Amino acid sequence: MTEVVNIRHEHASIREWEVRIEQLLEGSARDAAVFNVNEDDDREYDAIFLGGGGGGRFGAAYLRAMGGRQLIIEQWPFLGGSCPHNACVPHHLFSECAAELMLQRTMSGRLWFRDMTDVRASIKDVVDVFRRGRVGPHAIMNYQSKEQLDLEYVLNARGTIIDAHTVEVAGRRFRAKNLVLGLGARAQELHCPGADLKGVFNYATLVEDLDYEPGDTVVVVGGSKTAVEYGCFFNATGRRTILVVRSQLLKTITDDETRGYVVDRMRDQGVEILEGALVDRIEAGADGRACAIHIKTSKGIERIATDFVFHALGETPNSEMPAAALGVKLGAKNEVLVNSQLQTSVPNVYAIGDLIGGPMEMFKARKSGVYAARHIMGEAIEYQPKAWPDFLHTHYEVSWMGLSEQEARARYKDIITIKMPPDTPDGLNVALPASDRTMLYAFLEPKMSGFQKLILDAATRRVVGAFHVGYGAKDAFQYLNHLMKQGLTIDQLGDMDELFLNPTHFIQLARLRAGNRTLRNL
Ligand code: NAP
Ligand code: COM
């Protein structure tokens, strides 16, 4: 029988939560279920959120704020899901290290920068920094959810779906009018001989299991956001890094010119890219750890010696339990199918977040949770993620929204672009763009100072797409995307007030061209 502790009437500080979570994760209290359940409230729950990641937590908070009663059931001893535990948060830490190391290596021996020749940064040290520090974000999630948002939750115990209104957890059954499934997704497995060897990692096992310092050569399998983000970090630490990509690298960046700039800068940093390549097998060394990988390309099979293979092949939704217990309908990628009210095929059962398929992004997890909550509380809502702003990290941040130049030219008769650096033969080597965190590049290595492009339909003067490679533009893209969907024109953009030197330069560049009755490229 699982030990149950009800903490409803305790008020732990964030620091006290850190200690408790550590005990629950690794210490004496590993098997205890933590109940933060209001036994004095005899109202029926409006919803049980199964899974307390971004979707469950934001949905529950919204439903509670609207006056409903909710319960989150989460198998980890903290709320927030994979984001603070092994996904977005470590990935942002590693991407920040990649950007910092690229700057240090580029400036090596100049100004106050130390000579970085032969300096290899420790991957394990950074992973350890994350592993030691992640309990901080975990604790904040639990504290905020209980003390500030007044949420009810059960942690550190796996919920089992009994029926569309009932979930059993730690020996107790909870009933609700609705069930909201936010069970997330897990890394797809690599299928090849040797895939289960020590020394073969994905984003989740990397932060749990890395207990040695990887050697000189790292092999990354996959060609999308996760593969590139981790691959650029490994490369920046000073290791030979080879990306094994089954089709084309970074198809997700739809604009050819932007993708070209991004991939060229990765190659400049020494990232080796094998496209049209597959893993044949991974070879074990005498110590049982991977010692080499065999890659199949059009030229045959190549053996690469390495003790560290990282794969990032996408995510599979955790849909098995709801499919077996409730018979919810699934799509081709095992995602739970929902309508635009986030309802599954089973009445009173909703699904949100990564469980419903791509895009597996934070905004969609949180928004879908909130929209499900609003529908449960009686609001008429429509939610399908579409036309969202997007981003990824290489050694840079890459942000984009709307149509690529090719897509825009196929849709509209007259497309205008406004670009930085300027589209001249020597453009790449001029000190533009230049702004926060790219000033040193602009003056000392101009081609590394970034790329930005605004795409306009000349007939309506509307912005139809934008792409940015550099740093600090994500915030602007969140708001710009909203304005673009409302019909933002070059004239409105040029009439805004810029905080010079702003990372996108779009306002000032739009102002230089807005006076033209017939728009022209810049
Ligand atoms: P993904 O976008 O689903 O891409 C999977 C990659 O793995 C593709 O390059 C795919 O190749 C390749 N692949 C799949 N199966 C393979 C196999 N058996 N052998 C070789 N290659 C294989 O995966 P992801 O990058 O891990 O991202 C997962 C989700 O998390 C996405 O929804 C993504 O948006 C999100 N995410 C977002 C960020 C961010 O910074 N915004 C960061 C990480 C993840 P093909 O292209 O040939 O299919
Ligand atoms: C963020 C987790 S790390 S949540 O979306 O705030 O729950």
Indicate whether 291 and 431 sit together in one domain: no
| Nearest CA residue ID for atom 23, ligand 1 | 314
- Cα separation of 60 and 79, whole Å? 11
CA 249–ligand 1 middle distance (angstroms):
10
DSSP annotation of 283 reads E
Query: What are the Cα distances from residue 161, in Å, to 174, 326, 343?
Result: 10, 8, 17
Q: Is 96 part of any domain?
A: no
**How many whole angstroms from 156 Cα to the centroid of ligand 2?**
17
Domain that holds residue 499: 396-514
Q: Which atom of ligand 1 is nearest to the CA of 188?
A: 15
Tell me whether residue 291 is one of the annotated catalytic residues: no
What is the model's pTM? 0.97
Domain co-membership, 323 together with 301: no
Q: Are 516 and 416 in contact (CB under 8 A)?
A: no
Do the domain assignments include residue 229?
Answer: yes
192 counts as catalytic? no
Catalytic residue (one of 24, 50, 83, 488): 83
Same domain, 236 and 176: no
Q: Which residues line ligand 1 (CB under 6 A)?
A: 91, 221-227, 229, 246-247, 251, 312-315, 358-361, 391-393
Question: Does the annotation mark 500 as catalytic?
Answer: yes
Atom of ligand 2 nearest to the CA of 362: 5
Q: Is residue 91 part of a domain?
A: no
Annotated active-site residue 92? The verdict is no
Please state the separation of Cα 212 from the chain's center in Å.
26
Supply 361's token pair. 């992004």
Is 112 inside a domain boundary?
no
Q: Are 522 and 418 in contact (CB under 8 A)?
A: yes
Residue 106 is assigned to a structural domain of this protein: no
Query: Taking Cα atoms as reference points, which of 299, 364, 315, 363 lies closest to residue 338?
Result: 364
93, 224, 364, 478, best to mutate for ligand 1 pocket (most atoms within 8 Å of CB): 224
CATH code for position 427: 3.30.390.30
Q: What is the CATH number of the domain that holds 351?
A: 3.50.50.60
Would residue 122 count as lying in a domain?
no
* Domain count across the chain: 3
Q: Are residues 300 and 402 in the same domain?
A: no
Residue ranges with strand state E in 159-289: 160-163, 166-169, 172-181, 185-187, 200-201, 217-221, 240-245, 272-275, 278-284
Strands (E), 13-123: 33-36, 45-50, 70-73
Pocket test for ligand 1, best of 246, 275, 280, 469 (most atoms within 8 A of CB): 246
Indicate whether 53 and 140 sit together in one domain. Answer: yes
Q: Which of 79, 179, 330, 519 is catalytic?
A: 79
One digit per residue, the tens of pLDDT, for the chain of length 522 reads 689 999 999 999 999 999 999 999 987 677 899 999 999 999 999 999 999 999 999 999 999 999 999 999 999 999 999 999 999 999 999 999 999 999 999 999 999 999 999 999 999 999 999 999 999 999 999 999 999 999 999 999 999 999 999 999 999 999 999 999 999 999 999 999 999 999 999 999 999 999 999 999 999 999 999 999 999 999 999 999 999 999 999 999 999 999 999 999 999 999 999 999 999 999 999 999 999 999 999 999 999 999 999 999 999 999 999 999 999 999 999 999 999 999 999 999 999 999 999 999 999 999 999 999 999 999 999 999 999 999 999 999 999 999 999 999 999 999 999 999 998 999 999 999 999 999 999 999 999 999 999 999 999 999 999 999 999 999 999 999 999 999 999 999 999 999 999 999 999 999 999 999 999 999
